[in-house]
Amino acid sequence: MSWISLLFVMLACATGGANAQGAGPTEDRKQHIDNLIQSLPPDSVLRGVMERGGHGDGVHRPWMDEMKQHDIKRVLIGVHFAWKHEPKQMDVKRVKYFASYANESDELTDTKRLEGIRATGLEQRLKEEATRRAADGYWVDLPKPRPKPFFGGTWVELFDDEWLFVTPPRFWVYTPSNSVSKPK
């Protein structure tokens, strides 16, 4: 397990599902969460976090239903920004759709299908959600000395189910050599 994966698991365990609202899931929700966990690959970082009690906030959003209608389970959205004490001038640079929760090889690449998703307005709604969430991201390693301004980026992950654990966006310094071509 890489140190980044280990950091992710430690952060998730430390928060103990702190991104969940209310007193906790009911028995039906617990069963739903258990079913989600069982559907994930045994070596999945997401599964490990959820087995240790991490889960989503339980707030169902309309775009989740739209994702299900298009058989999209997961979306990764790359956002770039100028850093001026907080992310400013945020711009979505890439959107990647997946047919599963934890398999990178399940990326949807069919051009007609992607055009159909865009035509419904779903992609725009997902970009707006990603930009909103990116504003609440955090630095793992803020550069020193800091150039003013400097450019950063993050990946925002969205799922079609409100009970899946979503990692808070982590910022990185953007340079052409580490663009949003691959999640970190």
How far, in Å, are 41, 131, 140, 144, 146 from residue 82 at the CA level? 37, 13, 17, 16, 12
Span 32-49, pLDDT tens digits: 999 999 999 999 999 999
Check: CB of residue 64 under 8 Å from CB of residue 160.
yes
Does the residue 123 lie in any domain?
yes
The owner of tokens 């990692």 is 167
Longest dimension (CA), the chain: 51
Which one of 19-23, 136-140, 171-175 scores highest in mean pLDDT? 136-140
The β-bridge relationship of strands 170-173 and 138-139 is: parallel
Cis preceding linkage at 41, omega within 30:
no
**pLDDT value at position 178?**
59
Does the residue 103 lie in any domain?
yes
Does the residue 38 lie in any domain?
yes
Cis preceding linkage at 145, omega within 30:
yes
Does the residue 144 lie in any domain?
yes
Does the residue 75 lie in any domain?
yes
Q: pTM here?
A: 0.80
Does the residue 183 lie in any domain?
no
**pLDDT value at position 177?**
62
Interhelix angle 111-119/122-134, rounded to 10 degrees, is: 80
Does the residue 184 lie in any domain?
no
Q: What average pLDDT does range 111-128 have in this prediction? A: 97
Q: State which amino acid sits at residue 7.
A: L
Which domain range does residue 110 map to?
Answer: 3-178
Rounded to the nearest 10 degrees, how much is the dihedral formed by the CA atoms of 23, 25, 27, 31? -160
| Among 73-82, 146-155, 172-181, the least confident range | 172-181
Model confidence at 104, in pLDDT bands (50, 70, 90)? confident
- Asked whether the CA dihedral 138, 92, 184, 157 is positive or negative, the reply is positive
Q: Two tokens at 117? A: 């998703």
Considering its fold, how many domains does the chain have in total? 1
Q: State which amino acid sits at residue 41.
A: P
